[in-house]
Structure 1
Amino acid sequence: MIKKQILFILLFSIGLFSFAQSSSKAEALLDEVYNKVKGYDNIYIDFSSTLENTEADLKQETNGNVTLSGEKYLLNYFGAKQLYDGNKVYTVVPENEEVTIEDVNEDENNVSPSKMLTFYKTGHNYQWDILQNVGGRKIQYVKLIPIDSNTEIKSVLLGIDSQTKHIYKLIQTGNNGTKTTITVNSFKTNQPLSSGLFTFNEKKYEDEGYYIIRN
């Protein structure tokens, strides 16, 4: 009986040590990604996105792009444009000829474009996951599990290019079974940006007959 207890304690200790190593490796890789991202003046990302829920027979695919500079961003996605100038979020939907102006949502569980490359720094436990070969590139996955049990997100898989330390893929699984996959097709840094890129011209849309909604 004593031998069995000792064996159990030994195996449990080895398991804890392996998990700690896995968590430590994952966190160290994410720190490398974070430091790399924070060193750029701006980032341009062209991506493809898939939203799936097999139970609801739902599958949506689209392409988009986003330009990031500090907290500011310009996102083109699902035929709409969203701009954050550091103060307000402006969402332009040409199909409806509408513009929505609102304060930024500070919800920590909401991965906004300005946080899409840095959101993992807080609020998650980390696990080392699989390594994939994608066209000769080694993509190392890290699994993120939210610490907050009330979040709608079950887990996030981040695929990281082992050489560039850039995020290649994000796979988010919700508690309702919905899976969102974002794949980076192009990642450019320190691009020349126009001085008015993150400035919203409200008068332009008023003149074009857009309905302005303020929240």
Structure 2
Amino acid sequence: MIKRTLTSFILLFISVASVAQNSQKAKALLDEVYAKVTSYDNIQIEFKYALENTEANTKSETQGKASLDGDKYLVELFGSKQLFDGKLVYTIVPDNEEVTIESPSEGENTVTPSKMLTFYREGHTYTWDILQNVQGRKIQFVKLTPIDTNTQIKSILLGIDAETKHIYKLIETGDNSTKTTITVNSFKTNQPLSKSLFTFDEAKYKNDGYYIIRN
């Protein structure tokens, strides 16, 4: 009985040590990604956005693009635009001719555009995952599990290009059987951005007949 208990304890210790080592490897890689991303003046990406719900048997895909400069961002997706100028979020929907202006949500769990490349820095545990060969590129995946048990996010898989240390893919799995996948098709840095890119021109949209909603 004692021998069996000691054997179980040793196996458990080896398992815990292995998990800790994997966690350290994962964190070290994410630290490299963070250092690389934050070294750029700005980033422009083009991506594929896919949403799948197995319970509802639904799946949709679309293309999008984003410009990121510090916390500021401009995202174009589903024919709409979302702009954050560092203070307020502007959601522009041409189909409805509406603009919604609101403060950024506090304690937001989902991965927002401004956090897409740096969100993993806190609030998660890390696990070293699979290595995939994608058209000659080595993509190392790291699994992130939220520490907050009340979040609707079950896990996030972050695929990182082993050579460039750029994020290639993000797979977010929710508790409601919804899977969101963002695949980066183009990653450009330090581009000559217009000074007005992250500025909302309210007068322009009013003149174009848009209804302005302030929350």
Deviations 1:24-70 (A, max 9, x none): 00000000001110100000010001100021121111100000000
Matches within 5 A, 1:59-138: 59-138=59-138
Match of 1:32 in 2: 32
Match of 1:173 in 2: 173
Match of 2:41 in 1: 41
Give TM-score, length-normalised by structure 2: 0.99
Cα distance between partner residues in 2 of 1:190 and 1:203: 30
Task: Give unmatched runs, 5+ long, in structure 2.
Answer: none
The total of aligned residue pairs comes to 215
What's the secondary structure of 1:196's corresponding residue? coil
Letter paired with 1:208: D
Match of 1:154 in 2: 154
Match of 1:208 in 2: 208
Letter paired with 1:31: D
Matches within 5 A, 1:182-193: 182-193=182-193
Letter paired with 2:91: T
What's the secondary structure of 1:171's corresponding residue? strand
2:143 is the counterpart of 1:143: yes
2:11 is the counterpart of 1:11: yes
List, as ranges, runs of 4+ consecutive aligned residues in structure 1 with deviation greater than 3 Å: none
Give TM-score, length-normalised by structure 1: 0.99
- The alpha-carbon deviation at position 6 of structure 1 amounts to 1.5
What's the secondary structure of 2:168's corresponding residue? strand
What's the % identity of the aligned pairs? 67
Cα distance between partner residues in 2 of 1:203 and 1:5: 74
- The alpha-carbon deviation at position 106 of structure 1 amounts to 2.2
Letter paired with 1:50: A
